[in-house]
Amino acid sequence: MLDVESESEFEYKFEFEAVHTQVAEVLGSGTGEFDEARLLEELPAQLHLPERRVKAAIAAQAGDRKRNVLVQAVSLLRQRKLDEVVKSLNNLLACNKVRAWLCPFSSSAVPSPWNGHLGVM
């Protein structure tokens, strides 16, 4: 029989696995959309997890996916699967939206009002 700490530790890991699954679903949908309210507010509340830890997990997952998604998009482009390229690039955009939402004050090469570089188009 498991002791109380082990049970709560297991539940905590299970809940974070649910977060991982939800984030993978959103970032891999091919739409380029990132539902901030659902992932950053509703999900932590539903699972009774600290919002700060959930945000860190989401940011880490988005960062890990970015390189793979870009490589996948290039590969699909070489294969001339243009519809799949668009989906991969939309997934890349969703990953970038996560970073922009969670780290608005980080420096970036892209001009934006958040990092003090207001670029003129």
Q: Is residue 57 part of a domain?
A: yes
Comparing C-alpha atoms, which of 79, 82, 87 is closest to residue 31?
A: 87
pLDDT above 80: residue 119: no
Q: Is residue 119 part of a domain?
A: no
Strand partners, 112: 117
Alpha-carbon distance of 24 to 43, in angstroms, equals 14
Which domain, by its residues, includes 81? 4-103
The tally of domains found in the chain comes to 1
| Residue whose tokens read 């590969």 | 75
pLDDT above 60: residue 6: no
Q: Is residue 114 part of a domain?
A: no
Q: How many CA atoms are closer than 13 Å to the CA of 114, on its beta-carbon side?
A: 12
Work out the mean pLDDT of the chain and round it to a whole number.
80
Q: Is residue 77 part of a domain?
A: yes
- Collect all residues with Cβ–Cβ distance below 8 Å to 82 and sequence separation of at least 6: none
Q: Is residue 108 part of a domain?
A: no
Q: Is residue 112 part of a domain?
A: no
Q: Is residue 121 part of a domain?
A: no
pTM of the entire structure? 0.72
pLDDT above 50: residue 15: yes
Q: Is residue 86 part of a domain?
A: yes
